[in-house]
Structure 1
Amino acid sequence: MAHVTNPAAPILLVDDEEQALRSYDLNLRYHGYTNTVRCQDSREAPAMLENQEFSLVVLDLCMPHVSGEELLEVIRRVQPSLPSIVVTGHNEVETAVRCMRAGALNFLLKPVDRQRLLEAVDNALNQAAVDAESEAGIPGGNAPDTEDSEWDGDGLVIADPAMQEVRKRLKAFAVTEAPALILGETGVGKELAARAIHTMSGRSGRFVALNAAGLDDVFFADTLFGHEKGAYTNAQGSRTGLVDAAAGGSLFLDEIGDLSFASQLKLLRLIQEKEYYPLGSDKSRPLRARIIAATNKTLPELMDPACFRRDLFFRLRTHLVQIPPLRERPQDIPILVRHFLKRAAAELGMAQPRITPDFLALLAQHHFPGNVRELESMLYNALAVQRAETQEEADSTVRRVLDDKAVLEWMHFQQETPLSVASTGGATANGNGASGVNLGRDLSLGEGFPTLREAQERVIEEAMRRCDGNQSAAARLLGISRQALNRRLNTTRKS
């Protein structure tokens, strides 16, 4: 996201600790946000919110006189579109959930890391700007999803600085006619990057994509160049190829690292000679499409003559960009989660649920071998299962409806999609570490690594213990409905 310097309306800082206020203010001013207002007495904040427009509120949760939660209620009443960031010294899931339901955009723990604060403020102000543009109908804002335009008009839903650099490179590539090569693991969004190049280029023709994985030489040539009638057995008529279909636009060739050497040679000639022959024809046709290629092969693999033609590699790499895997772009996870939940909720015919900071923190630990594509599938699956369970409970006396205040349940998510945790110096992901695994606030999972079922049972037992057997309170602690907890308890007892 671009950094918004000095918003027109000031940033309101509310904290009863003078040192904390000074620290927030100095960090923001050093970062370029000089339009700030401090408030050390929370009793003054409601009147300030009612009488003055602000761009953002950063507030402490535990303050004398008027608490942070009470101020969130004031914000929701007097300035409902005003983003807020809550700061607290207590890392409690229930508190975070309540604040998110009350409208808080982010939840930071004291002592607040400077970089975390600045990232949270940047994201909040940029998101507010995008929302304002969307409401005003300005193109390039958070417009409704379309095939080629999902964010900033280029199809890229990103927030991480690494991806911002990628976007800059793609924009630079867009103004030229030279081939471009996009590298990255499966699922990182290589086709979206190719679409971004095409969209930003302003080319009048179509964006045409072909996945080259598994194509033999004849089928690749026929698909790309087309054929004339009688070119081969069963060729009853002529057919134009994708090169012609992409004339005036962009031809995207995905997984070119899997092409045979014969197909690689045909592609090299197409790029080098800028012309091609349909199968069975002796008349050449000009190449009028921009070539964009992608592969999940690494640079060392592409440089290996035994795997890929070096002359083709150097032709394609006129413009080269590497898309980092999702595990290396942690700031993209929250914005992608919101984006995919919005899309899934619309498809499933339900309101978009909220997500808690703890949910995002746990999700950020996942290694994501399938990258962005995996995240999208995981969220869709979890939301569909949660919706089904909610519908089953619709006739209950304590009905739980998924509305805009509901929270996507972490336990449900983890139960349906077990996560592999990236190596962070904690518990091992292979299953049998020598030391016990700790799940926050002294919740020990014992020696060795438990199965998912065992972990779920122990978490439920701990929740029931902390709530003195009160199922409603334990369900709230777990982020699930009382009926769902009751079913799990009954299942545990039967087993």
Structure 2
Amino acid sequence: MQESIRVLVVDDEEPLRRLLKKELTRKGFSVEVAADGRAAVEILKENTFDILLLDIIMPGIDGISLMKKLQSDPASPAIIVLTGRATVETAVEAMKHGAYDYLTKPYKLDELVIVINRAYEYGKLSMKSRLFQQELVRKDTPAEFLCTSRQMKDILALIKKIAPTDSPVFIQGESGTGKEIVANTIWRMSKRNSFPFIALNCASLSENLIESEIFGHEKGAFTNAYQTKNGIVEVADKGTLFLDEIGEMPLGPQAKLLRFLDSGEFRRVGSNKALVVNVRLITATNKKLAELVKKGEFREDLYYRLNVINIQVPPLRERPDDIPGLAVHFLKKYSREMSKQIKEFTPRAIETLNTYAWPGNVRELENVIERAVILSDAESIDFEDLSMPAQPPKELSANPSLEEIEKDYILRVLREANSNQSKASHILGIDRKTLYLKLKKYGIG
């Protein structure tokens, strides 16, 4: 376990550097040394360390000056100050600039090893805390995967198979079909679910901002880069990164994303230091990436790298069996949020929902139900509360099944009967119980 802890010793006393490198390496640590602060800065530009063992008084850049340089970088190592000329003032100064602990020479090696291990654990917790505060972590994002239709049940079955793996997942579907819910469900069913799920919409950012958001940037990397920023790949370390609308990503960041996918290695904007994280990547788009590849607007090699596991989310109009269940889910959700006692939809309201084509998919359905809950003062939602946009009802497919024809005919009769089931059953020539069973079968009422 200790061999993974990387230590940089910074001290101007050559015998001490040699001794620490020998003894700490023997204890299982990975150790590098620097003779002064300037040499340490150069090493830190190219390498990452978990622990910095730092002398205070050195020629050139002394320990306090080096700590001030590192203080603005959330990815800097945990610092343990080592000095033979300790005073209360230097101890206070060191702690003020971020030192984890302060040891006075001479010290026992076993004591130093204990402090290094503690500082390492502290550094991991501190880094995680800072990163979680900086970015939106979607760990609490509701991800209730509701499925009644055959298509969505098949998708859920596929999710259960692929979730335990680390393979990239590519989700395609129209806007509002629930691609992020699919991604979130994959994360929740994966072995990474105790670590973050981070989502970024690529369509909302410019090329420079996308690169900075994903990989982070160093202080001064560009105008207004007043401090170091950790990228979401760091926040998502050991967890899952979801890049929505990946088809909107410009070609420049695509090349860096491809390199990251191949190695897990990345560099912040304005930095030459290679950092490594371990994330699972899920991407989504409402565009046809294969066509963008042909046009030269999306890298072919990245497309194949992302498209390891492909999930096609059908539009809501192609899975009408899901409409009633989703509508009830949103009704309960917004009734609870608005402290209303709305319990159900009237048959006319259900009919209206079922016959609408839903160009905005599930997102539009949710918005309609939310608005209806706001407007309704009754215990049930009627079709007037839905305030549906004017649109002709869905047309039957070119070769409708017998069930589609029957459902369409029942809906038309219900409309003519103003949702009066007794009258509708009389027109249809069936008893009310038979009508009730057919309405239940088709999710109408």
TM class by shorter chain equals 0.5 to 0.7
Q: Which residue is equivalent to 2:257?
A: 267
CA RMSD for the aligned pairs?
A: 2.6
Q: Which residue is equivalent to 2:382?
A: 409
Q: Which residue is equivalent to 1:423?
A: 395
Contact 2:172 2:179 in 1 (8 A): yes
Contact 1:365 1:421 in 2 (8 A): yes
Find 2:294's aligned residue among 304, 315, 327.
304
In the aligned structure 2, how far is the partner of 1:325 from the partner of 1:304?
25
Structure 1 segments of 4+ aligned residues over 6 angstroms from their partners: none
In the aligned structure 1, how far is the partner of 2:289 from the partner of 2:273?
37
Task: Give the superposition deviation at 1:419.
Answer: 4.3
In the aligned structure 2, how far is the partner of 1:385 from the partner of 1:359?
14
Contact 1:184 1:296 in 2 (8 A): yes
Q: How does 1:155-174 map to 2 (within 5 A)?
A: 155-174=144-163
Task: Give the superposition deviation at 1:176.
Answer: 1.3
Q: Which residue is equivalent to 1:202?
A: 191
Q: Secondary structure at the match of 2:344?
A: coil
Closer, same or farther: CA 349–269 of 1 in aligned 2, 3 Å: same
Find 1:247's aligned residue among 218, 237, 241.
237
Question: Is 1:374 the counterpart of 2:364 in the alignment?
Answer: yes
Contact 1:211 1:254 in 2 (8 A): yes
Contact 1:302 1:310 in 2 (8 A): no
Task: Give the superposition deviation at 1:265.
Answer: 1.6
Q: Which residue is equivalent to 2:274?
A: 284
Closer, same or farther: CA 220–166 of 1 in aligned 2, 3 Å: same
Contact 1:180 1:320 in 2 (8 A): yes
Closer, same or farther: CA 232–425 of 1 in aligned 2, 3 Å: closer
Q: Secondary structure at the match of 2:242?
A: strand
In the aligned structure 2, how far is the partner of 1:216 from the partner of 1:200?
33
In the aligned structure 1, how far is the partner of 2:175 from the partner of 2:294?
20
Closer, same or farther: CA 323–382 of 1 in aligned 2, 3 Å: same
In the aligned structure 1, how far is the partner of 2:211 from the partner of 2:372?
42
Find 2:345's aligned residue among 355, 359, 362.
355
Contact 2:241 2:279 in 1 (8 A): yes
Q: How does 1:56-455 map to 2 (within 5 A)?
A: 147-148=140-141, 155-203=144-192, 204-298=194-288, 300-387=290-377, 402=378, 406-413=379-386, 415=387, 417-424=389-396, 440=413, 443=416
Closer, same or farther: CA 348–419 of 1 in aligned 2, 3 Å: farther
Q: Which one has a bigger Cα radius of gyration?
A: 2
In the aligned structure 2, how far is the partner of 1:171 from the partner of 1:442?
41
Q: Secondary structure at the match of 2:189?
A: helix
Contact 1:270 1:276 in 2 (8 A): yes
Task: Give the superposition deviation at 1:177.
Answer: 1.2
Contact 2:346 2:383 in 1 (8 A): no
Q: Secondary structure at the match of 2:148?
A: coil
In the aligned structure 2, how far is the partner of 1:183 from the partner of 1:321?
6
More divergent stretch after superposition (191-200 vs 229-238): 229-238
In the aligned structure 2, how far is the partner of 1:299 from the partner of 1:325?
18
In the aligned structure 2, how far is the partner of 1:256 from the partner of 1:442?
43
Contact 1:381 1:416 in 2 (8 A): no
Task: Give the superposition deviation at 1:259.
Answer: 1.1
In the aligned structure 1, how far is the partner of 2:285 from the partner of 2:375?
34
Q: What letter corresponds to residue 264 of structure 1 in structure 2?
A: Q
Contact 1:148 1:199 in 2 (8 A): no
Q: Secondary structure at the match of 2:257?
A: helix
Q: Secondary structure at the match of 2:326?
A: helix
In the aligned structure 2, how far is the partner of 1:443 from the partner of 1:166?
37
Task: Give the superposition deviation at 1:148.
Answer: 4.2
Q: Which runs of 5+ in 2 are unaligned?
A: 1-138, 399-410, 421-445
In the aligned structure 2, how far is the partner of 1:289 from the partner of 1:224?
12
* Number of residue equivalences: 269
Closer, same or farther: CA 441–283 of 1 in aligned 2, 3 Å: closer
Q: Secondary structure at the match of 1:253?
A: strand
In the TM superposition, what whole-angstrom CA distance separates every residue of 1:219-271 from its partner, at most 9, and x where no partner exists?
Answer: 11111111122222332221111000000110100001011111222211211
Contact 2:348 2:382 in 1 (8 A): no
Closer, same or farther: CA 303–316 of 1 in aligned 2, 3 Å: same
Q: TM-score, normalised by structure 1?
A: 0.51
Q: Secondary structure at the match of 1:213?
A: helix
Contact 1:214 1:259 in 2 (8 A): no
In the aligned structure 2, how far is the partner of 1:319 from the partner of 1:245?
24
In the aligned structure 2, how far is the partner of 1:337 from the partner of 1:280?
48
In the aligned structure 2, how far is the partner of 1:207 from the partner of 1:195?
7
Q: TM-score, normalised by structure 2?
A: 0.56
Q: Which residue is equivalent to 1:71?
A: none
In the aligned structure 2, how far is the partner of 1:442 from the partner of 1:166?
34
In the TM superposition, what whole-angstrom CA distance separates every residue of 1:70-99 from its partner, at most 9, and x where no partner exists?
Answer: xxxxxxxxxxxxxxxxxxxxxxxxxxxxxx
Closer, same or farther: CA 412–419 of 1 in aligned 2, 3 Å: farther
